[in-house]
Amino acid sequence: MRLLVVEDDDAIAEPLVDGLRREGFEVARVATGAAALEAEIPDVVLLDLGLPDLDGNEVCRRLRATSDVPIIVITARSEEIDRVIGLELGADDYVVKPFGFRELVARIRAVTRRTQRPGDGAAPGPTGAASAAAAVALAGGRVEVDTRTRKVRVDGAEVPLTRKEFDLLALLLSDPGATLTRDEILRTVWDEHWYGPTKTLDVHVASLRKKLGDPTLIETVRGVGFRVRTDA
Ligand code: CA
Ligand 1 centre distance from Cα of residue 20 (Å): 18
Ligand 1 centre distance from Cα of residue 27 (Å): 18
Question: What domains, with CATH codes, occur in the chain?
Answer: 2-115 (3.40.50.2300), 135-228 (1.10.10.10)
| Residue 62 buriedness (CB in 10 A; 0-12 / 13-18 / 19+) | middle
Per-residue pLDDT, 86: 45
Q: Name, in order, each residue with C-beta under 8 angstroms of 77's C-beta and a sequence gap of 6 or more.
A: 49, 50, 96
Ligand 1 centre distance from Cα of residue 16 (Å): 13
Q: What residues pair up with 152 in beta bridges, in sequence order?
A: 145
Report every protein residue that has its C-beta within 5 angstroms of ion ligand 1. 8-9, 48, 50
**Rounded average pLDDT over 186-203:** 74
Ligand 1 centre distance from Cα of residue 63 (Å): 18
pLDDT tens sequence across 78-121: 656 655 554 456 788 888 777 788 888 888 988 887 765 444 44
Ligand 1 centre distance from Cα of residue 58 (Å): 14
> What's the pLDDT band for 25 if we cut at 50, 70, 90?
very high
- Nearest-Å Rg of the Cα atoms of the chain is 18
Residue 55 has pLDDT above 50, yes or no: yes
pTM score, two decimals?
Answer: 0.53
3-state DSSP assignment of residue 45 = strand
Ligand 1 centre distance from Cα of residue 75 (Å): 8
Amino acid at 14: E
The answer to whether 171 and 181 have CB atoms below 8 angstroms apart is no
**Rounded average pLDDT over 160-182:** 86
